[in-house]
Amino acid sequence: MGPYPRVVTMPANLTPRYRAAEEAYRRAANDRERLDALREMLATIPKHKGTEKLQADLKRKIARLRSGGGRGKGSGRRGPGHRVERSGAAQVALVGPPNSGKSRLVADLTHARPEVAEYPFTTRTPTPGIVVVDKIPLQLVDLPPVTAEHREPWLTELVRNPDLLLVLLDLGSDDLLDHWDAVREALAGFRVHLGEIPLEEREIGVRYLRYLVAGNKADLPGAADRLSLLEEYAPDLEVLPVSLETGEGLSAMLRRLVGILDVIRVYTKAPGREPDLTEPFVLPRGTTVEGAARAIHRELAANLRYARAWGPRFHDGQRVARDLELEDGDILEFHE
C-alpha cells in the first residue's frame, strides 16, 4: 500500500460534500490537492462521538502533509528558503503588485530585513517577521509580487495556507484598478478566494481566506481620488488608507488584522502565585475552559479536575465549568 491509504468508509450520515471531498482525496495528484481535500473532509464531517477517531486521523494526515512529511506522487520539491515555519498567534501573508510597499512594511514593523528597493520584483524569497499587537504576536510574511504574469509555483502553499491575507495596493499608481484586478486574477490561479462563505456554497479545492486590503502611499497627491475610484469600481471592497512614509493608518491596520482574526487573550496562574500578564495564550473566540487546557497541553486537558477564574465577571478564584466560553482577558488557574 502506498503512503496515502484510502480513507475508511464512515457511518451512513456523512454528507454529500464529505463524500465528494473523500473522492477528491483519492484522485489527488499531489500533496497540495490531498491537503485541500483533507481539510474539506474535516470541515464537513459530522461532529459526534462516532466520528472522533476519523477526525483525529484526518488531523494527523493534515499535520503530516503540512510538515512536508508526504512523499506521494507529485509532491515536488521546494526551493531553498521557500518554506516558512509558522510562528506567533497567526500567520499573515502579504500579497500585492510590485512596489506596493510589502517589503518596507515588514521591515518597518518587524525585526526582519527583507531587501527594499524602488525597482519592481526586488523580493525573490519569502521573509517572515513578528509584530506584536496588544500582546498578540502576528507573523507577517513578505512575498514576491503576485501578478497574473508572475505567479511562482512555489508560492502556492504560502498563499493558500496563512490565517489571513493582507493585500497591499499602491494608491500612488494610476494603474490602481488594474492592480486590484491582477491580484484577484493571480489568487484565482492559486485557487484562492478572498473572503469566507458558507460551507455548502464552497467549491472543493478552493481556499476561502479572510483578508484585509490596505492602500499604501496615502500621503501622495491624488491618493484620495484614486481610492475613491477604487471604491466606486469595487463598492463592496473596504480599503484602509495607510502611509509607510508618515505612519498614517498603520496602528489601525494592525488592530483591524487582530479583529478579523477574532481571537482572545487568556492568562494563566499557578496556585498561590500572581498571574503572568506579559504573555497571554491567544485562542479563537468561543474557546472553552477545557479547550484552553487542551491548547496549553493535551495532558492538562485529560487530567483536568476543575479550574478557577479571575476577571471582571468572576468572583476572584471562582470555580468555573469546563464548558464555560472564555472572554478576552480572563485569568485561569487549572487544577489536575
User: Do 23 and 138 share a domain, yes or no?
Assistant: no
User: Do 293 and 185 share a domain, yes or no?
Assistant: no
> How would you classify residue 217: left for phi > 0, otherwise alpha for psi between -120 and 50, otherwise beta?
left
pTM across the whole model: 0.76
Within-domain flag for 85 = no
User: Do 247 and 105 share a domain, yes or no?
Assistant: yes
Residue range(s) defining the domain that contains residue 100? 90-261
In terms of DSSP H, where are the helices of the chain?
16-27, 31-44, 52-66, 102-109, 156-160, 176-189, 223-233, 250-261, 289-296, 298-303
The C-alpha cell of 77 is what?
Answer: 520539491
User: Do 157 and 220 share a domain, yes or no?
Assistant: yes
CB 179 within 8 A of CB 217: no
pLDDT at 80: 43
pLDDT at 262: 94
pLDDT in tens, 171-230: 999 999 999 999 999 999 999 999 988 888 888 889 999 999 999 999 999 999 999 999
- CA angle, 329 as apex, 326 and 335 as ends, to 5°? 60
User: Do 39 and 68 share a domain, yes or no?
Assistant: yes
pLDDT at 60: 85
The C-alpha cell of 335 is what?
Answer: 487544577
How far apart, in Å, do the first and last CA atoms of the chain sit? 43
Distance CA 285, CA 252 (A): 21
pLDDT at 202: 85
Sign of the alpha-carbon dihedral angle for 318, 322, 327, 333:
positive
Within-domain flag for 290 = yes
pLDDT at 17: 79
pLDDT at 9: 40
User: Do 236 and 305 share a domain, yes or no?
Assistant: no
Say if strands 211-216 and 239-241 run parallel, antiparallel, or are unpaired.
Answer: parallel
Final residue of a structural domain among 261, 293, 309: 261
User: Do 255 and 284 share a domain, yes or no?
Assistant: no
Within-domain flag for 83 = no
pLDDT at 138: 96
User: Do 197 and 117 share a domain, yes or no?
Assistant: yes
Within-domain flag for 180 = yes
- Find all residues with CB under 8 Å of 17, minimum gap 6, and list them: 40, 44, 199, 200, 204
DSSP string, 298-314: HHHHHH--EEEEESTTS
- Find all residues with CB under 8 Å of 26, minimum gap 6, and list them: 6, 7
pLDDT at 115: 60
CB 310 within 8 A of CB 328: no
Final residue of a structural domain among 246, 261, 276: 261
Structurally, the chain folds into a number of domains equal to 3
User: Do 179 and 248 share a domain, yes or no?
Assistant: yes
Distance CA 167, CA 184 (A): 10
Final residue of a structural domain among 30, 50, 76: 76
pLDDT at 69: 54
Within-domain flag for 81 = no
Tell the residue number behind the cell numbers 480513507, with chain if given.
Answer: 7
Within-domain flag for 107 = yes
Q: At 106, which CATH number?
A: 3.40.50.300
pLDDT at 37: 83
User: Do 222 and 257 share a domain, yes or no?
Assistant: yes
- Quote the DSSP letter at residue 195: S
Q: At 329, which CATH number?
A: 3.10.20.30
User: Do 109 and 182 share a domain, yes or no?
Assistant: yes
The C-alpha cell of 183 is what?
Answer: 491580484
Distance CA 47, CA 145 (A): 40
Taking the chain (336 residues) in runs of 10, the rounded mean pLDDT of each run is 41 70 76 81 81 84 73 44 82 94 93 62 75 95 81 83 96 96 93 90 90 98 97 96 97 97 95 91 94 89 93 94 96 95
pLDDT at 114: 66
The C-alpha cell of 210 is what?
Answer: 479572510
Using CA atoms in the order 236, 166, 262, 86, what is the torsion angle rounded to 10 degrees? 150
Within-domain flag for 235 = yes
- 241 SS3 class: strand
User: Do 71 and 158 share a domain, yes or no?
Assistant: no
Within-domain flag for 84 = no
Task: Compute CA distances 277 → 33, 39, 117, 204, whole Å.
Answer: 42, 35, 40, 42
CB 214 within 8 A of CB 173: no
